[in-house]
Amino acid sequence: MKRSRFSEALNGVLKERQAGLPTGELCLKHGISGATFYKWRRK
């Protein structure tokens, strides 16, 4: 089965969010959209 390109990035972003960084700041820092962040979080 093919692995996702962003599996490690996904875990890092979600951990940073749990640490208390605002969602908008995370999206700018990692170059993703807000919709992408919320889609990752839902998984």
Tell me how far apart the alpha carbons of residues 17 and 4 are, in angstroms, rounded to a whole number: 20
pTM of the model: 0.69
Range of the domain at 23: 5-42
Do the Cβ atoms of 38 and 13 come closer than 8 Å?
no
Write the DSSP symbol of residue 4.
P
What is the rounded average pLDDT for all residues in the chain?
85
Q: What is the pLDDT of residue 1?
A: 65
Q: Say if residue 25's pLDDT is above 90.
A: yes
Q: Say if residue 30's pLDDT is above 90.
A: no
Mean pLDDT of 6-16: 83
Mean pLDDT of 3-32: 86
Q: How many distinct structural domains can be found in the chain? A: 1
Residue labelled with tokens 């969602």: 23
